[in-house]
Amino acid sequence: MGTMTGKTAIVTGAGHGQGANHCIRLADAGANVVAVDVCTDVEFFYPLASKEELEDTAARCRSTGSDALPIVADVRDPTQVASVLDQTIERFGRVDILCNNAGLARIDAIDEVSDDVLSAILDVNVRGAFNMTRAVTPAMKEQNYGKIINIASAAAVKPLPYLSHYSAAKGAIAAATKSWARELGPWGINVNCIAPGTVLTAMIVGLAAQLDKAPEQAFDEFNSGSVFTGARSHITVDDITDALMFLVSESSRMITGHVLAVDGGKTNT
Ligand SMILES: NC(=O)c1ccc[n+]([C@@H]2O[C@H](COP(=O)([O-])OP(=O)(O)OC[C@H]3O[C@@H](n4cnc5c(N)ncnc54)[C@H](O)[C@@H]3O)[C@@H](O)[C@H]2O)c1
């Protein structure tokens, strides 16, 4: 029996990258996992996860012995989000953990950013987390239990030039974390946020392509500012999942409204 046995977790942006790793580690700890991803590309952005990748996440979860339900859904659409909750309750009867991980980023000068790009970044990173949190909250309130983890970014703590839309979106979700923590605490719901530094996933490969750089070079440049050096400065998906596993565990039951930087000290000013 794992520490998460009997719990049900919904993770958005679960097709690949950090979200897929969160799903597999939650399943390995015994949780039933609902893996959600849009599985469709968005115009002007790097390739997002495919349906095959989402199925693979679910298969890897099941290989741990836990159950997993992959759902193709766009977190921007409240109707699709409502269906995610319905399918979760129908299959598992409850929802204990929500990880708002789906995200989208792009590099744009403020005087050049298009309406479409601005809408996509704000809608996926902010509205998506609002839609999902609004959907799961009634079930969590009824249970008097819940763990909501929002994935922001170091860019929320130390906003970056040419990433103002992304920095603002992640800052919004860090602020919403604190508001939801105060509001939902009386129902035993913890709400926390992780602010990752740079992790080499499809997002960074996509941003590197925009800059005409090799992914490893962009990764090293984005990582500058870490207090660690060399290989030690490289943040892995497991570093982020380690923080998630702590925040969904009973060890963090008195921690709520916290924005936890997992960034090698980059934003520690
Ligand atoms: N990679 C980094 O350096 C980094 C740094 C800080 C924060 N983050 C954040 O971490 C989270 C995970 O990112 P990642 O690094 O794994 O990148 P990623 O691009 O590999 O994963 C993001 C996932 O979100 C999915 N997604 C996008 N739009 C969606 C939508 N509308 N509905 C449902 N799913 C959608 C994508 O298909 C993809 O699977 C994101 O919120 C990201 O902003 C990443």
pLDDT of residue 207: 95
CA distance 137 to 139: 6
What is residue 123's DSSP assignment?
I
- pLDDT of residue 269 exceeding 80: no
Contacts of residue 125, defined as CB under 8 A and 6 or more positions apart, other chains included, come to 102, 103, 104, 166, 169, 170, 172, 173
Paired tokens of 246: 């702590």
**What are the catalytic residues?**
166
* CATH class belonging to 8-202+236-262: alpha beta
Alpha carbons 173 and 192: distance in angstroms, whole number: 10
Burial class (CB in 10 A: 0-12, 13-18, 19+), 121: buried
User: pLDDT (tens digit, 9 = 90+) per residue, 184-211?
Assistant: 999 999 999 999 999 999 999 999 999 9
**CB distance 146 to ligand 1 below 6 Å:** no
- pLDDT exceeds cutoff 90 at 223: no
Ligand 1 in contact with 12 (CB < 6 A)? yes
CB atoms near residue 113 (< 10 Å)? 16
Q: What pLDDT sits at residue 78?
A: 98
Substitution site in 74, 150, 203, 238 for ligand 1 pocket (most atoms within 8 Å of beta carbon): 203
Task: Establish whether residue 102 lines the binding site of ligand 1, counting it when its CB lies within 6 angstroms of any ligand atom.
Answer: yes
Q: Are 218 and 160 in contact (CB under 8 A)?
A: no
Q: Give pLDDT, residue 23.
A: 98
Provide the greatest CA pair distance for the chain. Answer: 54
Q: Is 151 in the pocket of ligand 1 (CB under 6 A)?
A: yes
pTM across the whole model? 0.98
The contacts of residue 230 (CB under 8 Å, 6+ apart) are none
Q: Whose CA is nearest to atom 5 of ligand 1?
A: 198
Residue 184 CB contacts under 8 Å (≥ 6 apart), including other chains: 137, 140, 141, 146, 148, 191
Q: Whose CA is nearest to atom 15 of ligand 1?
A: 201
At residue 130 the predicted structure's pLDDT band, cuts being 50, 70 and 90, is: very high
The pLDDT of 230-246, averaged and rounded, is 95
* Beta-bridge mates of residue 88: none
Name which residue sits closest to atom 19 of ligand 1, judged by CA: 203
> What is the DSSP pairing of strand 189-196 with strand 32-37?
unpaired
What pLDDT score does 96 carry?
98
Q: Which atom of ligand 1 is nearest to the CA of 18?
A: 16
What is the whole-number distance in angstroms between the Cα of residue 186 and the centre of ligand 1? 31
Q: Is 104 in the pocket of ligand 1 (CB under 6 A)?
A: yes
* Residues contacting residue 43 through CB under 8 Å, at least 6 positions apart: 116
